[in-house]
Amino acid sequence: MTSTDVDTGGRAPNSLVPSTAVDGTDVYSPNGDKVGHIDHLMIDKQSGNVAYAVMHFGGFLGMGEEEQTIPWRKLSYDTSRDGFVTDITKEQLDTAPARGDSGVADRDYEMRLHDYYGMNPYWI
């Protein structure tokens, strides 16, 4: 079977990307300002879908960066920028719900996070 014979389920053949290629990808506002970059992804073990991107923002030359978990569906890939675009503002990142000691694996935190960003939870 050649690569042209592979059933991609309606996706473009190059629409899949390894998670390591997403790490470090820049995130931009709709007007093109750089907001931050993806540090890593959080994948739901049951569904296999990406649930969150953990984004780093702020700081200077990697010093003093902050980290925030954002719902994956708040990002869209823009090929012209070779990065992701989000409507999340710096102010929203600064005041987003803080993770507890259990991290993202806390359903109460996840609910607060989705409510904060005005999104339905990924598991519904």
> Domain segments of the chain: what residues?
17-116
**Tens digits of per-residue pLDDT, 76-121?**
999 999 999 999 988 899 899 988 666 667 888 899 999 999 999 9
SS3 100: coil
* pTM for this predicted structure: 0.79
The whole-angstrom separation of Cα 97 and Cα 115 is 10
The whole-angstrom separation of Cα 90 and Cα 13 is 34
Q: Where are the beta strands (DSSP E) in 6-113?
A: 26-28, 34-43, 50-57, 66-71, 76-78, 83-85
Fold adopted by 17-116: SH3 type barrels. (2.30.30)
**Tens digits of per-residue pLDDT, 16-35?**
778 888 999 999 999 999 99
- Better pLDDT: 66 or 104: 66
User: Apex CA 101: angle with CA 72 and CA 39, to 5°?
Assistant: 35
